Amino acid sequence: MSGVVIGLEIHCQLDTRTKLFCPCSTDYRDDGPNTHVCPVCLGLPGTMPAVNRTAVEYALRVAKAFHCEVPVECEFSRKNYFYPDLPKGYQITQYDRPLALGGYIEIEGDGGLEKRVRLTRIHIEEDPGRLVHKGGGDRARYSLVDYNRSGVPLIEIVTDPDLSSPKEARRLIEHLRATLEYLDVYDPEKEGSLRVDANVSIAGHERVEIKNISSYRGVEKALTFEITRQRSLIRRGVAVERETRHFVEERGTTRASRTKVEEHDYRYFPEPDLPPLRVADRAAAIELPELPAARRERFRVQYGLSPNHARTLTGNPGLAEFFETVAGDDPVLAATWVADTLLGELNYRGRPVGSVGPARFSALLALLKSGRITDRSGVEVLRIVLDGDEHPDAVVERLGLAVTGDDTVSAAIAEVIAEFPQAVADYRAGRGNAINYLAGQVMKKTRGQADPRELGRRLADALAEDGPCT
């Protein structure tokens, strides 16, 4: 996609126990609206904010992981506007003296080479409340406000316009999400914990800001739609208007914001209730854990994994740790079964990798490695283990899935040859494909326990012995 210029503003909730400026708990997922609020996050008169140290430290971890510069001193500012989700009439954020400047995120660029996406800044701010519209946004006659989210700590990460396609944007967000999980500062299970605004333009034309992208899968969709829209305007000779558009998730489209957002006058000024913050020395003292790129490289070298498997298995820290627990003496076999089979089965069930017992999975791998069960039976056993509370050995025993000895397979071959004379005749008439049908029947009789590679050869032998090929 040549000529596409994209920059992102990514908001991530930091997974602290309390809000940014007050000690209200952020664990409100299972509670009703307005149950986790206090005078501070409701913006009642006379209250004062007190900065959450953990939120600042989490933000510094992110800044350090992405190679940002942390100035000796930073400052909070007020951004003034009126909206029901903002009880004070202003948001405490950072403006001209943010927590961190510069830095970069490395992603795989569209050409397949590593690409550095530069960061403009990272700053800390408070999340506004949540608005609900009954009966859908268009029909509701009033807004309902829940301030539980009001004051939850966010970091906003702003990139330079270095991205050249929706795919690159998605990769950046995925890499960012993985890194935040490795840094242990972010809970991906929380609804709305990652929200993105995107600036996109075609080189030489005006740029459009897309707001309201609330999932990282949405980023690629929203950008793809918007680029197509802008390209078709240009093709028809219509100028792209500089505007703010909203992403409509259900339809995968963007629409012009109803209220024309002119260049807002937010009247930023330094937050008088919070003196400047001096945290550069804290940033310097932070020791980072192994991050996704380093772990990916280690998986390739230490375990001999393919680049794809290494990438998949380091996608989140829980998965990477699970793999390392079950890698055992055959890491390539383990990688194949975790990346290619287990993940699919978990996805299908909407379950996290944390719900799988590594000991049981290792037992399954041992059955596969020793050749006691076939790959096909392995998938069956895995499904049963995932859906129930049975040990793989017990499943194999109960269903008689152990690879069958020669006698049983020989008997099944003889039976099939007797039962399907038409297919036998077809094979002998030179239609080689008929053997696949016969092999399928043998598999059925032996419940898939025959080794498929060997079965073909044995069937061919049996058919050759049994009667003359014409």
Pick from 176, 180, 255, 251: nearest CA to 210: 255
Shortest Cβ distance from residue 149 to other proteins (Å)?
Answer: 13
Shortest Cβ distance from residue 276 to other proteins (Å)?
Answer: 6
Residues in region 325-344 near other proteins by CB under 8 A: none
Shortest Cβ distance from residue 400 to other proteins (Å)?
Answer: 54
Residues 95-114 as x/- pattern, contact with other proteins by CB under 8 A: --x-----------------
Residues 246-285 as x/- pattern, contact with other proteins by CB under 8 A: ------------xx-----x-x------xxxxx-------
Distance (Å, whole) CA 27 – CA 29 = 6
Residues in region 340-369 near other proteins by CB under 8 A: none
CB-CB contact of 49 with 273 (8 Å)? yes
Q: Is 214 in the site for other proteins (CB under 8 A)?
A: no
Shortest Cβ distance from residue 275 to other proteins (Å)?
Answer: 4
Residues 6 or more apart from 151 whose CB is under 8 A from it? 19, 20, 21, 22, 24, 40, 41, 126, 127
Shortest Cβ distance from residue 100 to other proteins (Å)?
Answer: 16
Residues 120-139 as x/- pattern, contact with other proteins by CB under 8 A: -----------xxx---x--
Residues in region 298-317 near other proteins by CB under 8 A: none
Strand pairing report for 208-213 and 243-248? parallel
Q: Is 192 in the site for other proteins (CB under 8 A)?
A: no
Shortest Cβ distance from residue 191 to other proteins (Å)?
Answer: 17
Residues 69-98 as x/- pattern, contact with other proteins by CB under 8 A: ----x------xxxxx----x-------x-
The correct pick among 56, 154, 305, 438 for binding other proteins (CB under 8 A) is 56
Of the pair 82, 237, the CB lying nearest other proteins is at 82
9 burial level (CB within 10 Å; 0-12, 13-18, 19+): middle
Residues 6 or more apart from 214 whose CB is under 8 A from it? 192, 194, 195, 196, 249
Of the pair 126, 146, the CB lying nearest other proteins is at 146
Residues 6 or more apart from 453 whose CB is under 8 A from it? none
Shortest Cβ distance from residue 280 to other proteins (Å)?
Answer: 12
Of the pair 32, 237, the CB lying nearest other proteins is at 32
Residues in region 8-47 near other proteins by CB under 8 A: 16-18, 23-25, 27, 32-39, 42, 44
CB-CB contact of 51 with 41 (8 Å)? no
Distance (Å, whole) CA 158 – CA 120 = 5
The correct pick among 48, 140, 418, 425 for binding other proteins (CB under 8 A) is 140
**Long-range contacts formed by 280-288: CB under 8 A, 24+ apart:** 280/70, 280/71, 280/72, 280/73, 282/56, 282/57, 282/60, 283/60, 283/63, 283/64, 283/70, 283/100, 284/70, 286/57, 286/60, 286/61, 286/64, 288/61, 288/64, 288/65, 288/183
The correct pick among 29, 53, 351, 444 for binding other proteins (CB under 8 A) is 53
Q: Which two tokens stand for residue 441?
A: 């029947």
CB-CB contact of 161 with 200 (8 Å)? no
For residue 114, list its beta bridge partners.
108
* Residue found by looking up tokens 């699970």 in the block: 322
Shortest Cβ distance from residue 259 to other proteins (Å)?
Answer: 7
The correct pick among 13, 52, 179, 314 for binding other proteins (CB under 8 A) is 52
Shortest Cβ distance from residue 153 to other proteins (Å)?
Answer: 10
Q: Is 144 in the site for other proteins (CB under 8 A)?
A: yes
Of the pair 76, 427, the CB lying nearest other proteins is at 76
Quote the strand ranges of 149-293, DSSP E: 153-159, 194-202, 208-213, 243-248, 253-256, 269-270
Q: How many residues bind other proteins (CB under 8 A)?
A: 53
Secondary structure class of 279 (helix, strand, coil):
coil
Secondary structure class of 177 (helix, strand, coil):
helix
Contact residues for other proteins, defined by CB under 8 A: 16-18, 23-25, 27, 32-39, 42, 44, 50-56, 73, 80-84, 89, 97, 131-133, 137, 140-147, 258-259, 265, 267, 274-278
